[in-house]
Amino acid sequence: MDYELTEEHQALVEAVRDFTREVVAPVSATHDREHSFPYDVVAQMGEMGLFGLPFPEEHGGQGGDCFALCLALEELAKVDQSVAITLEAGVSLGAMPIHRYGTEEQKATWLPRLTSGQNLAGFGLTEAEAGSDAGGTRTKAVLEDGQWVIDGTKEFITNSGTDISSLVTVTAVTGESRREDGSVKKEISTILVPTDTAGFTAEPAYDKVGWNASDTHPLTLNGVRVPEENLLGERGRGYANFLGILDEGRIAIAALAVGAAQGCVDESIRYAKEREAFGAAIGKNQAISFKIARMQARAHTARLAYYDAAAKMLAGEPFKTEAAIAKVVAGEAAMDNSRDAAQVFGGYGFINEFVVSRHYRDSKILEVGEGTTEVQLMLIARSLGLD
């Protein structure tokens, strides 16, 4: 397979790389320290067209593909994972479900705002007892007089409480049926809920270990009423449809993780050449140079994994297993590289001002969010016939 980037993709990489260095990097430490959302950075990302990369021009997009999004995420995540996840969630979890399953009216109403970056959307799946196990979903939606009445709570919802958050797509139980063995089967659907709807509340933001400049809230839906036509996709297919969205999103998350892993390599190389101990640059010591070499091997391998998954997806071939492999390999590469980079930096690796310390805190969630490592391993094992 040919992994050489096209001229268009290479131009995108260079543009995002310049933007990351000139706009994102100077303010990253401040937003992380203050736990503040980078509105100005996000606005400029919108002007660059990053939120519209994989969407058709008729809905305000750039007419590109998901691989282009992955390349942008990799560059952003080298310096700031919070900014990268804001883009990834805004596209993969916010706008993509509407693009994939929405009616023409829903697309015309919401996509232009989301693809421009003027508004953000989130996806409300996870609950206190439902995440990997969607069967635990307790949020309910009842159809009354042409309106869905929704009651429930959601947890860990990205992009749900900013000043520009306009929509959250929520999963809810819209009916139940009995299986032959007498057990209850839940009918889970997805419903579009504008954030200004009465009864919708984004509770105070979490105090997180990392991704401090990313917006994440628990949500409360108390008697929320939205029109019947806010149903997204076919009734009862909400979770099934979202699984397809997650498969694509795992490739994007893998690309983000590769960016983090490569960012740790790049910073470690720079520091190992500058920092001197015992009369020589520390990079001359094999203990350091071999550590960085292994970090590069991890980043390179993880990049090939997400490239392969993306190639299969764009070719219309099955890619679920490859997406799971990419997410596992890339998430672990980011976590391992951030630990090693912090060691290369010594005491400075424990100071939040340095990007490697932020990667050390940020990278753990890459083994959890949008499908835990254990879920990915389960999917891979199933593909091998090991149920």
- List the catalytic residues: 370
The token duo for 43 is 């606005």
Indicate the SS3 state at residue 183: coil
Contact in structure between 125 and 134 (CB atoms under 8 Å): yes
Task: State the DSSP H helix or E strand holding residue 168, giving kind and residue range, or none if neither.
Answer: strand 165-178
Q: Which residue in this structure is represented by tokens 């050449």?
A: 273
**Angle of helix 81-88 versus helix 355-362 axis, rounded to 10:** 50
The token duo for 227 is 């029109």
Contact in structure between 107 and 59 (CB atoms under 8 Å): yes
Q: CA 57 → CA 71, 116, 172, distances in Å?
A: 20, 11, 32
Residue among 318, 322, 327, 325 nearest 309 (CA): 322
Residue among 26, 34, 82, 162 nearest 361 (CA): 82
* Cβ-count burial 133-155 (b if 16+ within 10 Å, e if not): ebeebebbbeeeeebbbbbbbbb
Q: CA 349 → CA 29, 201, 232, 352, distances in Å?
A: 14, 38, 45, 8
Indicate the SS3 state at residue 185: strand
